Chains A and B, each alone.
Chain A
Amino acid sequence: MAVITPGKRFQWTVIDVVVVVYALVPVLWTLSLSFKSKATIGDGNLLPSEWSFQSYLDIFQTNDFLLALVNSIGISLIATAIAVVLGTMAAYAIARLDFPGKSVLVGFSLLVAMFPQVSLVSPLFSIERSVGIFDTWPGLILPYITFALPLAIYTLSAFFREIPWELEKAAKMDGATPAQAFRRVIAPLAAPGVFTTAILVFIFCWNDFLFAISLTATTRSRTVPAALQFFTGASQFEDPTGQICAAAVVITIPIVLFVLFFQRRIVAGLTSGAVKG
């Protein structure tokens, strides 16, 4: 380790502060706007001159936001679960096996990830309408899984490659079937990777706006990012800035909880001690 001189320390402190401020100012501003009363919303102060919870009360006045929240949580959780399960199996195969067409498969999944989603919105809209899943949960879950899978496969196969293959051989020699070896040796070691992937996929689904706005029409399946768009002020001339900010703060909470919950399971260096490094 290089010695950290006071000068270096100062330099790093400045850089860290700049980065943190840059990242947090918009968040703080949103938070501040959500607590301002309608009268002071345009005053430009970071600290609200008078604190008001009106915006929060407003968004829960109708069922729309609550329904959107339920839709968001349900759709994101289901899509995450399916994508992670499929991604785990695919990534394991890609990391461990040599099968014909492996590079083609990997290439195609990369292609899916690179495909501009905007260009798929109109075809998806038409397809979903004719198939009858437009404005339903599956109508959003399906495209979410499709676009989350490449991400899941890539992240997970990197994790699987980290697990020494000899562990699997050892399990086989100890009398395990391939399924037992996977369940009792490989899966527990891949857990940090699975949780990391779950977090990333969940955030991707939770934050999606494009599909949510294009493939939904009613509160039946509209998720929060899309629902925000339909907020209206009390009158035609009133901007619903306060409500939108309050909603933005509210929908950040589940994601923070989700990350905190899974982060504790991401224990670095879980495989240390398996093999001589």
Chain B
Amino acid sequence: MAEIVLDKVTKRYPDGALAVSEVNIEIADGEFVILVGPSGCGKSTTLNMIAGLEDITGGELRIGGQRMNERAPKDRDIAMVFQSYALYPHMTVRENMAFPLRLAKVDSATVRAKVEEAAQILDLTPHLDRKPANLSGGQRQRVAMGRAIVRSPKAFLMDEPLSNLDAKLRGQMRTSVSRLQKQMGTTTVYVTHDQTEAMTLGDRVVVLRGGLVQQVGAPQFLYDHPANLFVAGFIGAPSMNFLAVTIRAEGATLLAEAPGLRLGLPPAIGQTLAGRRDQRVTLGVRPEHLSLGNGALQCSFEANVEVLEQLGSEIVLEVRAGDASLTVARIDPQARLVAGDRLRLCVQPERLHFFDPSTEQAIR
């Protein structure tokens, strides 16, 4: 077990392409950190650099206080779970899980005991003598996990380990990965493009885009206080609505105005926006923070229902207010709505987000 420190870690490919640019992350001992972002954001490259499968072009990687840049993967004492599982097809489940221990020249009795213990934890005991080809996707995934946990490494690296499973199994495995990590208390770096996994699994989430860290923080913090437009749009599902609005002053209160829309802003937000009077800003509001009802006129607006999605437990609406198209979630399924209805939507002003349209940074 150890802490992992990335100090201005950079990856530049020989052709000049910059994959990861000066990433600084300090991962505490036992922490579960998620690297999340769209494809091509450099999250897997970062993970591979921690693993030692890719060279680090600049900066320093320290595991347990020691510089790791030049160490071969086998000397870093970290285990990795691959997206494709990468099981050895010519070996049985038992041999697959024993492989790292055998390479470490552990004696047979201990290997046996450790493999059986891991199999017990992962519910693989009946399958120990089968080959990977005869296992289901979920079982293969667990064998891959088993191979990682048998040798109690300093850290686990997981590269989208659940993305090949079907939705239901993914949900189950998500819970067991989380439980396993808590139980073992091993530092874990987990790469995913799925924001649900990021939100539910991690102690902290690192959002990456184009090789740059956008924001680091606890999942709830990222949801509540996204640092920029990208994080705001990436975290949360369905994703946040963005509107171009103009800030106007009406007496003492500030208003956010767009065609067909006028929202009064509470004094707390008003202060941060005071300097932006008559300027255009981007307003962000999460679909779940819009609701039906006749709230104060100040914080509500009229909209037309365009598309209506019945999900059983809730209704998701696509509505149009003036020029803007918005998603509204968590509508009571009992509400009798049809496409084309005109309705009044209410916002909670304290849950509005504002971003500078040119820098895309949050206005705080």
Contacts and interface: CB of A to CB of B under 8 A. Distances in A.
B284 interface: no
B89 A270 contact: yes
A176 B88 contact: no
A228 B87 CA distance: 52
A185 B95 CA distance: 12
Contact of A273 (B73, B74, B89): B89
A105 interface: no
Interface string B241-273: 000000000000000000000000000000000
A189 B132 CA distance: 14
Nearest to B150: A174
A180 interface: yes
Contacts, number: 86
B89 A180 contact: no
Contacts of A176: 74, 103
Contacts of B103: 174-176, 180
Given A176-B103, A177-B74, A276-B140, A169 B134 contact: no
Interface stretch (B77-85, B191-199, B210-218, B292-300): B77-85
B339 interface: no
Contacts of A166: 82, 84, 86
A107 interface: no
B317 interface: no
A185 B79 CA distance: 17
A220 interface: no
A270 B88 CA distance: 10
Contact of B84 (A177, A184, A275): A275
Contacts of A275: 82, 84-87
B43 interface: no
B63 to A, nearest CB: 14
B336 interface: no
A174 B100 contact: yes
A210 interface: no
A61 interface: no
A169 B144 CA distance: 13
B307 interface: no
Contacts of A185: 88
Contacts of B131: 273
B102 to A, nearest CB: 9
Interface in B85-117: 85-90, 99-100, 103-104
B58 interface: no
A172 interface: yes
B73 A276 contact: no
Interface residues of A, number: 25
Interface in A167-190: 167, 169-177, 180, 184-185, 188-189
Interface in B127-149: 131-135, 137, 140, 147
B274 interface: no
Contacts of B80: 169-170, 173
A169 B74 contact: no
B319 interface: no
Given A273-B131, A273-B133, A273-B134, A189 B89 contact: yes
Contacts of B99: 171, 174, 184
Interface string B41-57: 00000000001110000
Interface of A: 164, 166-167, 169-177, 180, 184-185, 188-189, 269-276
27 contacts: A164-B84, A166-B86, A167-B86, A170-B87, A170-B88, A171-B99, A173-B51, A173-B53, A173-B73, A173-B78, A174-B79, A174-B99, A174-B100, A175-B74, A175-B103, A175-B104, A189-B90, A270-B90, A273-B87, A273-B131, A273-B134, A273-B140, A274-B89, A275-B84, A275-B87, A276-B85, A276-B140
Given A189-B89, A270-B90, A276-B140, 12 more contacts: A164-B84, A170-B87, A172-B73, A174-B99, A175-B104, A184-B99, A189-B90, A269-B133, A270-B89, A273-B87, A273-B135, A276-B137
What 7 A-B pairs come out closest when comparing CB atoms?
A273-B133, A275-B84, A273-B132, A170-B86, A174-B100, A166-B86, A274-B89
